[in-house]
A and B are shown apart, each in its own frame.
Chain A
Amino acid sequence: MSYQVDENGFYGPYGGAYVPEVLYPNVEELRLNYQVILDDQDFQKELSRLLSLYAGRATPLYPSGFLSEKYGANIFLKREDLCHSGSHKINNTLGQVLVAKRLGKRRIVAETGAGSHGVATAMACALLKLPCVVYMGEVDMVRQAPNVERMKLLGAEVIPAKSGSKTLKDATNEAFRDWINNPDDTFYVIGSVVGPHPYPDMVAKLQSVISKELLDQVPSLTGKNFPDYVIACVGGGSNAAGSFYHFLDHPEVKLIAAEAAGKGLDSGFSAAANLLGKEGILHGSKTKFMQTPEGQVLEAHSVSAGLDYPGIGPLHAYLHDCERVKFLPVTDEEALDAGIMLSKNEGIIPAIESAHALAALEQIHFKLTDVVVICLSGRGDKDLETYINYTAAKN
């Protein structure tokens, strides 16, 4: 069984490129060139130089004494939070902005939810000298205000998305609209494994550096060839795709994805696309997302802006259907509690997105010998206010 995209851009029934004709030539240009560029030795050399010297890779695989004791297994944190920009997003944006330059594009647009992808895109653009426009939901601009200021300081223009729920879905719509209006010179740097083919595959490949490093780190720290578990949070699913990538064909590695259940799966305020969604066409691909019976997209809810998206990448929809990855729901409260727990006991403040992966530990029964890797996809500095308000409300 293959978990790779097929020649038409599909993972089983999911994927493809459902874009209006105006965007067809752009998507086609990228489809014809992305693999050639990614395989090019000079490109690889430049990207790996930037990933190590600029972004700070390889990121450590840190054995968490606290979590190991609490959950009775050997638990490791893959410290993507230590990447420059504060999250794994920089792995993808450096790669895509380099691809854009190879294609001769002169302007970058991006969408952002929590601001992590926006900041990482703004950094890559500042470094590689391309103008950058980031669309961000108006609601997210308020709850992630520090990231808005960071993007501006980095020279990016931040444009509020004012339609719909004013969150990630709407920022994505606006970025697509910008691209439609500027197809000649603009490259759309998508932040997750979503969008029309070849984006899901390209982003997964750029993020696969996470699991590539694990292939060396796990044996040298544990003596085992592979971890028993890899756990990651999923919104669109880029850090999960990167963390799972090199283990997909090794069924002995159990892969767990934590979906944002918001206020609970049955609450009507959730963002668990695989658990609550239905197959349809959104943002350029056939995938699963939360929608009404009439096919109108539902507004998602998650305390974490980065997971506050009604859909999921087509690869994950497929991995869910063929049961290669187990998807677990994690509520806002469970994630916040897990984030606070890690802060107090390990001195690491995780992004609320990543805290969903930590909270999933509660739902799994481990053996003492199990080696468990959690992708700590980002740091929680951007979430201070949410943590503070939550703690204050509890006390």
Chain B
Amino acid sequence: MSNLTENRLSNIFKNNKKKISIYLTAGYPNLTDTVKLLKILESAGVDFVEIGIPFSDSVMDGPVILNSHKKALENGMTLDFLFSQLEVIRKNISVPVVLMGSMNPVYQYGFENFCKKCGDLGVDGLLLPDLPLLDFKKYYQDFYQQNNLAPIFMISPQTSPTRLAAIDEAGAGFLYAVSSSSTTGSSTKMEDNIGYFEKLGNLKLKNPVAVGFNINTKNDVRIVHQYADAAIIGSAFIKEIEYEIDESRIIKFINGLEN
């Protein structure tokens, strides 16, 4: 796969401009903040956005994002509520949106219904880090295809070349490369990952590559942009909105990342 027609995510990667993406947790810091944040991020010039589906036991995440999940769940965030919020987004927001999260909430919602809902609401990609490639191909691939949803997969410095080729073949939109083997928001230095980025840059991959995890500064973004198509900022952004959503502060934060 995957031939997506008019998928916003695929479209934005048609040009070579280096991109910035922001991760936010649905329902954080307040239950109804998600759409408001999407609008601000779009006006700040963010190229695409990832919305995290909060989960009680996300093993991929470090303390900052974990805490945002906890708060979002305490706020009452559910998939039904998130979908009800997203119903309005495509009326006035065109930034591509990826939903991301642990597999279980999606599994309980029902994979087929979940994908259909995403398609109906104009969600462009789906990233479930604990979804095995095998399960994707065996059970779920068609649901993505039918709803024009880009299947996004992670790759890591541990991923073997053969496996990387298989993931590249199955995925669409972009490949999510974790900057190093870590949970989100760890203290790894971006400079230490250059060897890995160089290797990635030299591979002839079908999909664009977006690097995420532990990107905090303008310099981190600069390093990532030297080798990859996009930089994804998660924990650093979650920290920015911990207490309140201040539009000018967010715009300043985003501008401060761009080189």
* B-binding residues in A (CB < 8 A): 8, 16-22, 24-26, 163-164, 169, 173, 176-177, 180-184, 278, 280-284, 291, 293-297
Partner of A21, one of B62, B102, B105, B159: B159
- Contact residues, B52-110 vs A (CB, 8 A): 55-57, 59-60, 62, 66, 70, 73, 78-80, 102-109
In the complex the two chains form, is B182's CB within 8 Å of A295's CB? Answer: no
CA–CA, A24 to B55, complex, Å?
21
Q: Which residues of A contact B197 (CB under 8 A)?
A: none
9 cross-chain pairs, A with B, having the tightest CB-CB distances, nearest first? A295-B108, A295-B105, A21-B154, A176-B59, A20-B129, A296-B56, A25-B158, A295-B104, A22-B156
Contact B132 A163 (CB under 8 A): no
Asked whether A294 and B181 contact (CB < 8 A) given A16-B135, A17-B132, A169-B57, the answer is no
5 contacts between A and B (CB under 8 A): A20-B129, A278-B108, A280-B108, A294-B105, A296-B55
Query: Judging by beta carbons under 8 Å apart, are B182 and A181 in contact?
Result: yes
Q: Are A293 and B153 in contact (CB under 8 A)?
A: no
Categorize the interface residue count of chain B.
Answer: 35 or more
Tell me whether A281 and B56 are in contact in the complex, defined as CB-CB below 8 angstroms, given that A21-B155, A291-B108 are known contacts.
no
CB neighbours (8 Å) of A21 from chain B are 129, 153-156, 158-159, 167, 178
Residues of B with C-beta under 8 A to A281: 102-104, 107, 130
Complex contact A297–B56 (CB within 8 A): yes
Q: Which residues of B contact A177 (CB under 8 A)?
A: 59, 62, 183
Tell me the bound Cα distance from A32 to B257 in angstroms: 43
A17 to B132, CA, bound (A): 7
Distance (whole angstroms) from the CB of A215 to the closest CB of chain B: 36
Chain A nearest Cβ from B159, distance in angstroms: 6
Bound CA span A19–B130, Å: 5
Q: Does B131 contact A (CB under 8 A)?
A: yes
Q: Is the CB of B183 within 8 A of A24?
A: no
The reply on B202 being an interface residue by CB < 8 A is no
Could you tell me the distance in whole angstroms from the C-beta of A55 to the nearest C-beta in chain B?
A: 31
CA distance A8 to B135 in the complex (A): 11
Q: Does B163 contact A (CB under 8 A)?
A: yes
B positions within 8 Å CB-CB of A: 55-57, 59-60, 62, 66, 70, 73, 78-80, 102-109, 129-132, 134-135, 153-156, 158-160, 163, 167, 178, 181-183, 186
B-side contacts of A26, CB under 8 Å: 158
Q: Taking the nearest CB of chain B, how far is it from the CB of A280, in angstroms?
A: 5
A284 to B57 Cα, complex, angstroms = 11
Interface centre among A16, A177, A184, A283, by most chain B C-beta atoms within 10 angstroms, is A177
Measured CA separation A21–B159 after assembly (Å): 7
Residue among A24, A293, A297 with most chain B CB within 10 A: A24
Q: Contact at A20–B154, with CB atoms within 8 Å?
A: yes
The CA-CA distance from A25 to B178 in the complex, in Å, is 15
Residues from chain A with a CB closer than 8 A to the CB of B80 are 294
Contacts of B102 in A (CB 8 A): 281
What's the Cα separation between A24 and B158 when bound, in Å?
A: 8
Q: How far is the CA of A169 from the CA of B56 in the complex (A)?
A: 11
Q: A21-B178, A22-B158 are in contact. Are A280 and B104 (CB under 8 A)?
A: yes
A-chain residues with CB within 8 Å of residue B105 when the two chains form the complex: 294-296
Cα distance A25–B156 in the bound complex, in angstroms:
10
- Which of A19, A180, A282 is within 8 Å of B104, CB to CB? A282
Cβ–Cβ contact B60 & A20, under 8 A: yes
Given the complex of chains A and B, what is the CA–CA distance between A15 and B55 in angstroms? 20
Across the interface, A24 reaches (CB within 8 A) one of B56, B66, B79, B163, namely B163
CA distance A21 to B107 in the complex (A): 19
Choose from B78, B129, B158, B167 the contact partner of A294 (Cβ within 8 Å): B78
Given known pairs A18-B130, A163-B66, the reply for A24 and B159 (CB within 8 Å) is yes
User: Do residues B66 and A296 form an inter-chain contact, with CB atoms below 8 A?
Assistant: no
Q: Which residues of A contact B104 (CB under 8 A)?
A: 280-282, 291, 295, 297
Q: Is the CB of B59 within 8 A of A20?
A: yes
Q: Which residue of chain A lies nearest to B105 when distances are taken between CB atoms in the complex?
A: A295
Q: Which residues of A contact B59 (CB under 8 A)?
A: 20, 173, 176-177, 180, 283
The docked-state distance in angstroms from the alpha carbon of A126 to that of B89 is 57
The minimal Cβ–Cβ distance linking B42 to chain A, given in whole angstroms, is: 28
The docked-state distance in angstroms from the alpha carbon of A163 to that of B58 is: 11
| Contact, CB under 8 Å: A181 / B183 | yes
Of A18, A21, A181, A295, the most chain B CB neighbours within 10 A belong to A21
Q: Which residues from chain B contact A291 at a C-beta distance below 8 Å?
A: 104, 108
> In the bound complex, do residue B134 and residue A293 qualify as a contact, i.e. CB atoms below 8 Å apart?
no
A39–B117 Cα gap in the complex (Å)?
49
User: Whole-angstrom distance from the CB of A245 to the nearest CB of chain B?
Assistant: 27
Which residue of chain A lies nearest to B188 when distances are taken between CB atoms in the complex?
A181
With A and B bound together, what is the CA distance between A69 and B7 in angstroms?
73
Contact between B60 and A296 (Cβ–Cβ < 8 Å)? no
Residue of A nearest to B154 (CB): A21
Q: Hey, which chain B residues are within 8 Å of A8, CB to CB? A: 134
In the assembled complex, how far is the CB of residue A107 from the closest CB belonging to chain B, in whole angstroms? 14
A283 to B55 CA separation, bound complex (whole angstroms): 13
**Minimal Cβ-Cβ distance residue in B for A17:** B132
B residues near A20, Cβ cutoff 8 Å: 59-60, 129-130, 154
**Assembled-state Cα–Cα distance A357/B207 (Å):** 55
Q: Which residues of A contact B158 (CB under 8 A)?
A: 21-22, 24-26, 183
Q: A22-B181, A181-B181, A291-B104 are in contact. Are A282 and B153 (CB under 8 A)?
A: no
Which chain A residue shows the least CB distance to B156?
A: A22
Give complex CA distance A219, B59 in Å: 47
Separation of A8 and B60 alpha carbons in the complex (Å): 23
Question: What's the least CB distance linking B40 to chain A, in Å?
Answer: 27
- A residues in contact with B160, CB < 8 Å: 25
For the complex, what is the distance from the CA of A177 to the CA of B130, rounded to whole Å?
A: 13
